Chains A and B, each alone.
Chain A
């Protein structure tokens, strides 16, 4: 079986620092794969490469079994890959609807659309539907995002990603800086996205969260994938051991 999105032996250096050193990664449709590793292990570099924000020195990325060159974020978006960045990348003065459709506004039909007039009602309707589907608690669709809590903003950012991604969503530290209830909501959202058949890459430093939602967990250390574990049967100790290099077992499970 070919993976939906796969990186094979990808490398990338910044000056003398080898951020990715023949790293592998793979994910199938409808599964949540945790991507963990200590700071500097190459997680951010890898997701930048997978989302078209960064060129690789060596190695190849395969999408649906075919080699692809992701030259720009737009290119990745066209394939159905979206990233939710750690700093969310929302426009704080715009409301949730405007943020979800930012850069991809629905225009009115006919001449008005040609002139750049937007179909606000349609965007409002679709955004409300995707928030509902996600179970995101958005207090108001008309208030600026900047006035909302971190959990709500995270929900909006995820809703935006899944509105556009029909294949892969990459979440970079989605639970950092969230409260207990908000974290629970985000983890629930992740499961719902997976149940729609979308592949979710889940990057986090929080091992309990990773173990809770991930079907498989891949560990990066020093720019290389050092282990793969099933989410159900693994313990925090095992993960930490793999991250720090106390035990190496590439290809397990």
Chain B
């Protein structure tokens, strides 16, 4: 009896090892981000074939990463929110609000100097965080659907930003900030993409390696199950929306540094572009699944298309057409692949049952 059990255990142990090796490869190939990365590489090869060095140059890619930086910071927060099966439509407006508050504060303090810039950073991040927490409290405690809450705060945050400024952009951004964007390079990477890279790496670690990330997946996968195992779901949701708001505040600062002005009228589609990137990157809009890596790849596709179309002389308006198509195709492929995976799991189960009897 016990020897049989031992044999079984040994077999089970072997199966585990096999399982470990197989599934590492399987897991990587199974990630939608892997396929989307392939699409991105094909797009790059296409433009390289047509435009050669004009496309495939350090200068061009530096420019592309500059353009991606702000969205990448927002995208990290959005990935967390969407994994909890929520949505945050307000990021663009929160970005505008935070940049307006920050610019106002810096203007009031004299408008230049490293100390002023530091206060501006704090102001931007705090005002972003405040909006995030408002979103989180309304979603998690008041139980208003996230779509409605953030549609509301989208409107309110933008409206308040316009009230504060009379609708006119503030241009008095300290030169320390704009210089950071234009001239500073860290390890050969321009300032803004470097900040974005740090946020991406930290966000990836937080999501995939820590308990906070695990709870984010659990809440999105089965909220009731998470609650029953003792996870403080309400608190966690407030933190996740707070994180998204905080990153929108940081994005506001990067945007100020990049453009040297608040961009009151320029962020109306930011939310949708970021959401599209997150979803193209394989994060499930129904929650429970997603990666930061996928989001980054999903952000580069529109940026690379835009740059490539300009270089090869195609109207850049085609970018919208291409990105929209990729978005729908990506979600379609992902869903049919997942349905196939479920079917094979079931038929395998059936096969096993036959074998056992």
Show the binding face of A for B, using Cβ within 8 Å: 73-74, 77, 85, 88-94, 98, 102-105, 107, 115-118, 128, 131-132, 135, 139-143, 146-149, 151-152, 179-182
- Taking the complex as formed, is B20 at the interface, i.e. its CB lies under 8 A from any CB of chain A? yes
The answer to whether A116 touches B211 (Cβ under 8 A) is yes
- Residues from chain B with a CB closer than 8 A to the CB of A90 are 222, 225
**Contacts of B194-224 to chain A: CB distance below 8 A:** 209-212, 214, 217-218, 220-222, 224
CB distance from A124 to the nearest CB of B (A): 9
Given A93-B289, A103-B230, A181-B356: A141 and B212 within 8 A (CB)? no
The answer to whether B210 touches A116 (Cβ under 8 A) is yes
**B117-125, B161-169, B315-323, B338-346: which lies at the A interface?**
B338-346
**B8-16, B33-41, B70-78, B108-116: which lies at the A interface?**
B8-16
CB distance from B350 to the nearest CB of A (A): 9
A85-B228, A89-B228, A116-B212 known; 11 other A-B pairs, CB under 8 Å? A73-B228, A92-B222, A94-B217, A103-B226, A105-B211, A115-B210, A142-B27, A143-B345, A179-B353, A180-B357, A182-B353
Kindly report which residue of chain B lies nearest to residue A131, judged by CB atoms: B12
The answer to whether B229 touches A93 (Cβ under 8 A) is no
CB distance from B222 to the nearest CB of A (A): 4
Where chain B touches its partner, the secondary structure class is helix
Kindly report which residue of chain A lies nearest to residue B344, judged by CB atoms: A147
- Taking the complex as formed, is B231 at the interface, i.e. its CB lies under 8 A from any CB of chain A? yes
A107 to B284 Cα, complex, angstroms: 27
- Taking the complex as formed, is B53 at the interface, i.e. its CB lies under 8 A from any CB of chain A? no
- Taking the complex as formed, is B152 at the interface, i.e. its CB lies under 8 A from any CB of chain A? no
- Residues from chain B with a CB closer than 8 A to the CB of A181 are 353, 356-357
One digit per residue, 1 when the CB lies within 8 angstroms of any chain A CB and 0 when it does not, for chain B 313-357 equals 000000000000000000000000000011001101100010011
The answer to whether B222 touches A103 (Cβ under 8 A) is no
CB distance from A90 to the nearest CB of B (A): 6
Query: Which one, A107, A147, A182, contacts B211 given CB within 8 A?
Result: A107
- Of B16, B20, B348, most A-chain CB atoms within 10 Å: B16
The answer to whether B230 touches A94 (Cβ under 8 A) is no
The answer to whether A98 touches B20 (Cβ under 8 A) is no
Kindly report which residue of chain B lies nearest to residue A74, judged by CB atoms: B230
- Residues from chain A with a CB closer than 8 A to the CB of B179 are none
A148 to B349 Cα, complex, angstroms: 8
- Taking the complex as formed, is B23 at the interface, i.e. its CB lies under 8 A from any CB of chain A? yes
Where chain A touches its partner, the secondary structure class is loop
Kindly report which residue of chain A lies nearest to residue B218, judged by CB atoms: A91
The answer to whether B23 touches A91 (Cβ under 8 A) is no
The answer to whether A141 touches B19 (Cβ under 8 A) is yes
Query: Which one, A89, A105, A132, A148, contacts B224 given CB within 8 A?
Result: A89
A180 to B341 Cα, complex, angstroms: 24
The answer to whether A149 touches B349 (Cβ under 8 A) is yes
- Residues from chain A with a CB closer than 8 A to the CB of B8 are 132, 135
A103 to B19 Cα, complex, angstroms: 25
A90 to B224 Cα, complex, angstroms: 9
The answer to whether B221 touches A92 (Cβ under 8 A) is yes
One digit per residue, 1 when the CB lies within 8 angstroms of any chain A CB and 0 when it does not, for chain B 1-26 equals 00000001100110010011001000
Query: Which one, B23, B211, B230, contacts A140 given CB within 8 A?
Result: B23
The contact sample of 5 A-B pairs, CB cut-off 8 A, is A85-B228, A91-B225, A103-B218, A142-B19, A147-B345
Given A107-B211, A140-B19: A102 and B225 within 8 A (CB)? yes
The answer to whether B9 touches A132 (Cβ under 8 A) is yes
A85 to B224 Cα, complex, angstroms: 12
The answer to whether B345 touches A148 (Cβ under 8 A) is yes
Kindly report which residue of chain A lies nearest to residue B223, judged by CB atoms: A91
Query: Which one, B222, B284, B345, B357, contacts A91 given CB within 8 A?
Result: B222
Given A104-B229, A116-B212, A132-B9: A91 and B27 within 8 A (CB)? no
CB distance from A21 to the nearest CB of B (A): 27
- Residues from chain A with a CB closer than 8 A to the CB of B353 are 179, 181-182
- Residues from chain A with a CB closer than 8 A to the CB of B341 are 147
Given A91-B221, A94-B217, A105-B214: A132 and B231 within 8 A (CB)? no
- Of B23, B212, B222, B353, most A-chain CB atoms within 10 Å: B222
CB distance from A137 to the nearest CB of B (A): 8
- Of B212, B220, B289, most A-chain CB atoms within 10 Å: B289
The answer to whether A142 touches B222 (Cβ under 8 A) is no
